[in-house]
Chains A and B, each alone.
Chain A
Amino acid sequence: MARSDVQLMLDVKAGDEQSFTLLLYRYRSPLVNFLYRMVRNREQAEDLAQEVFLRVYRAREDYVPSAKFTTWLFRIATNLALNSVRDTRYQRMEISLDAPVMLDAEDGEEKTLDVAEKHPNIEQHLVEETQKKMIRHAIEKLPEKQRAAVLLHKYQELDYGEIAKILQCSESALKSLLFRAYETLRVELAPLVAQHGK
């Protein structure tokens, strides 16, 4: 049977480096994806994810399994992401209002024409790409704390209590955050929502 996260972490604490590698395999993809949606830059997301693992490793000797491992892990990740987003925004304001915003041209975006040439159903493909782009932009436009709440709720399948602990707010405040985020998303994505709701 697979060892639980907490058991792996206790093994790391006892000096077993192999268990750290297992935790790395288990959580690198969820963390990188979460951070990528938060900071919108792949390189930065990977750098922050590495920082999360490093902090987990550094904390191993003091680790006490008081909360769920994922709560602790994503709390570190969320704090790093929120700080990074705020720093980046501040830097951008400092540089210039005209400076180009250096965000990733995301997967698919630059490939679109290339693939479309060979694609048997070009129209369908373009529609799908446009949809994805709209969804991405709608998420990116959310205020960062709402964005974090949506990502943790939707993609990490954490329960309300855990997400509230990660965001350091009450469950009631979290529900408000999520409600406001979904209200914004249903307006931003209205054309798609109308299609999807049929």
Chain B
Amino acid sequence: MEKKILGYVDGRLKESERLEVEKHLAACAGCRLRANEFRAVSGLLDELPMIEPSEAFDLRVHARVAAEPLKQSWWAWFTSSPRVAVAAAMLLLASVWVGTHSTNNQPQIAQEDIPVLENLDVLSSFDVLSELPPPVQADDGGQQQNPQM
């Protein structure tokens, strides 16, 4: 009941709840007193004067909005976000590193291809592949593969 008294005072209760509270108030002096005092508090809160925003307020808002980077320009977005810039720089570095590494070690990579080629015998059981001549056997790597076949 207590929690409904403020709702009753400010007129925000549903009709059924309002009637319920009114019925209670008629019988309960304590809640009646509280309702009157809440109404008085609410009236006192009305007496506080409003303040006016200062004259510079709007100008400051507009200035802060104008200082916002333009979202439409991807370059502005890029430069305004250090995280994106750092991430992009790291990506660039990584691709350069991979690039130089792979050219230096060309033969090694060719050897590392062999395990992948082994999988071809699995693939050759598919209908489409089985009609083709086996591509691996004629290869240089064929010798290394033979013991495993």
Interface residues of A (CB under 8 A from B): 20-21, 24-25, 28-29, 32-33, 36, 42, 46, 49-50, 53-54, 57-58, 61, 107-108, 131-132, 135-136, 139, 150, 153-155, 159-160, 172, 175-176, 178-179, 182, 185-186, 189, 192-193, 196-197
Contacts and interface: CB of A to CB of B under 8 A. Distances in A.
Given A29-B53, A179-B3, A179-B6, A24 B36 contact: no
Contacts of A136: 48
A46 B54 contact: yes
Given A107-B51, A131-B47, A186-B37, A50 B6 contact: no
Interface string B49-70: 1111110011011101100100
Interface stretch (B38-46, B102-110, B125-133): B38-46
Contacts of B58: 21, 24-25, 28
Contacts of A178: 6
Given A58-B68, A153-B10, 20 more contacts: A24-B58, A28-B57, A28-B58, A42-B51, A42-B54, A46-B60, A50-B57, A53-B64, A54-B68, A57-B68, A132-B48, A135-B48, A154-B42, A154-B45, A160-B12, A175-B7, A182-B38, A182-B41, A186-B38, A193-B41
A50 B49 CA distance: 22
Please report whether the interface of chain A is mostly helix, strand, loop or mixed according to DSSP.
helix
Contacts, number: 101
23 contacts: A21-B58, A29-B53, A46-B53, A53-B65, A54-B61, A108-B49, A135-B44, A135-B45, A135-B48, A139-B45, A150-B45, A159-B12, A172-B3, A175-B3, A175-B6, A175-B7, A179-B2, A185-B41, A186-B38, A189-B44, A192-B40, A196-B44, A197-B37
